[in-house]
Structure 1
């Protein structure tokens, strides 16, 4: 028996124990040599493969492509890497990555093929792509739902929109709104009477798991509690659960807002019937609105924003630690960039809902920050002057009110005025603060807006000034721009 040389011994160790398949294929595409790993990976004995066509086991849809790749290697004598599908002996489909290296100057024009099983990697890529698509679907659903809620004026409309969205996003959820009479302690649906003991314990916005159902109390109206019910099995992924929690949060906020609006409208009608000046109702409406903005800003920051940041960091870590092909890496990079845009948009929304440090830095500094931020993305020039405002101390209600008025003036200038220059002037005189706004835009006929104007947000400004016991004067004519002068008492009672 011939004694093995060190080179033969090393070669045998490599071929016997390599996990990747090594083939030698001739110019006729026949297998001349195969390593034992062929059986481990594909289930065929290496002896069965010798002399057979190297492309017999390749998936029919990939076979012509791979044969053409082999011909290309033979012509160019350059190595080539491809991914393709192969059938295991037991019928399972495998994903392979092969690198074909031509043997230079060989009379039989042999090629050496290194084959790696990438089935698990492809499965991971498919799952990631599936999750990416699902994530985008959930994100788009929340955007669409939140946008549509702005036009919902009745609880019945909100119910219909809510149920339709859940049915679409969570197939098999079978959502329904159950009405629990808190006075009589029963559910209107007799078929669900066994759940009645649970309903008094439900907390608004909190998910409670009850056998095969999830119960969420959306809100209360008169003696009835509105409870959303859906199948547990429809919420199978953590991202689905986050979507449900965020979705419910929106629904709870809208339900509460509709209740508040309905009650306040009744009070307003009563006040108007008595010919009373409903200033306190206006203040209440604006103060409730600010509290809702503050709560929504806080909740968005503490829940949705943090969830997005965690997801962003997780995807970044996945991109750094895992190997993906170029197309998948670009797709994931797009998701990461989309997440960054979403994070920025949520932060901007939070700041718009509740300007940061407004109470701490005061009105003048807050307006300077607002003008600087607006100037970056606007086509007009903003100038801001003050007189005798050093040490100005306004109550929180007036500070927020004037800040919102300036926001509305900027919004009107952006949408309607076509102005090139905006001038703001703030002056303190004794116990009165004067805020003046002048632009050089197209102007309008103020007579057409009286006695109650509703266009361009001017009605909201007038009502806000009225609620703070101030005075507002709007001066304009077509082609002369707009001048708005507001006088506000500095001292007064704050209800915020």
Structure 2
């Protein structure tokens, strides 16, 4: 390849060296720094003599830099004078192809970045200010490669622009990582909005159900009032009709027809009511019921008529219930279907006195869904309260441990260091070395203690290298501290990063499980197994120790960390189970959802 032979001279002038000899001396110093093949100062002159010429040294240094370095002459228009071999590795073009085509560099710039590059280059040529910007370049195979460019212009001694030189660094992976982080943030925001909308819909549904219930109750009240008024009116009419029976036979027939039509309308309203309506006599027997009652209790109308109400409401004692019907109003009870299944119901009583005796209209609503929602809310509140209490306990324990370590280790070391330095200050000036040595040893111990406390709080290897290195470090550290050997098996974690919250949860679950083994299991061996696929990560921690009763531990909320581990798994859409019995060892299994937000190592 033919390369501009004045390149070395241009680099020498650009560096501001007075002569070629000074440039050679500088290159010898750089070579001695980066390639220390001469270790004896007596041989420096001989080694310098064996160094290659200045141009070769410049080229060797430039071509070792992991970036595309280039120069371009400004005399007679911009044209490439030199480009480093990394052009072929990053873009697929050889040096000859790149330099022989004077417009290739502009053709390969991404179409969306050409106008910006032109403006930036013009600004640099007009003002002489360095160009620093990011651009996309199209490789030979069509890939889009991101480069961060650093370009400067060199002038001649008379101030005229001479040439430009610069470096282009591949930042494609950085850009991909930024895009992955942006997508993760968008997805999280979308999930939050979705959850908010879901809660709003549930709230609106509850308000709608409450309003519907009030409306139905108001309609039933109006229907009852209308029915009473209508019955009174019809009674008056019948009395008059009886007095004029002989004279108004025709009128009576018309009145009877109208009565039948009215009863049909009432029956239709009665059957279309959304709740079960049952008319009961004073003995507790069912006289009438609507279609909704057949649907709820799964009996036919003929099967329920003349049956005791206690068949449908087994918790009701009708003997005492009927006497208090006027005062009971609305209450909750338990209904029983034909198949024997029990379900919660809301009962509203409306007693009335008739000529035949006291009747009670019972409006019954199935509240299974409402009870289930209330139970789930209570369970969630209980778990949340337990978790909050557990978090406070863990926080206080951790604070006490840190305070104890600061007082017992760092505090005592600082006190000893203070006394040592005070003693050294009182010694003669020619005898402080031994005291300073002791002080230095104390400072080193203090730094080691501080680093240990920092690693116990959160190991940096988890954030820097990922879950697998962090677990290996934790197990080695655990074995050294507790003398409990751990057999570690894993699959699917090599060279892979999971979402931070998944890595943290998995690490803490393994850490807490091993801590429980060291405290309670009374064994010298344990097994940890971590298996991961595209969607989940499975964690098994097993020992053959004294064992325990998991139900008792969860019920008494003992501070074994099991509740905290379970909440970590549930928050990630997973679950945690514990299998154990007294004297039979223990096995903890956690399944976590990993999702698709992974970062390639």
Question: TM-score w.r.t. structure 1 length?
Answer: 0.35
Q: Which has the higher contact order (CA 8 A, sep 6+)?
A: 1
Instruction: Please identify the structure whose Cα radius of gyration is greater.
Output: 2
Question: TM-score w.r.t. structure 2 length?
Answer: 0.30
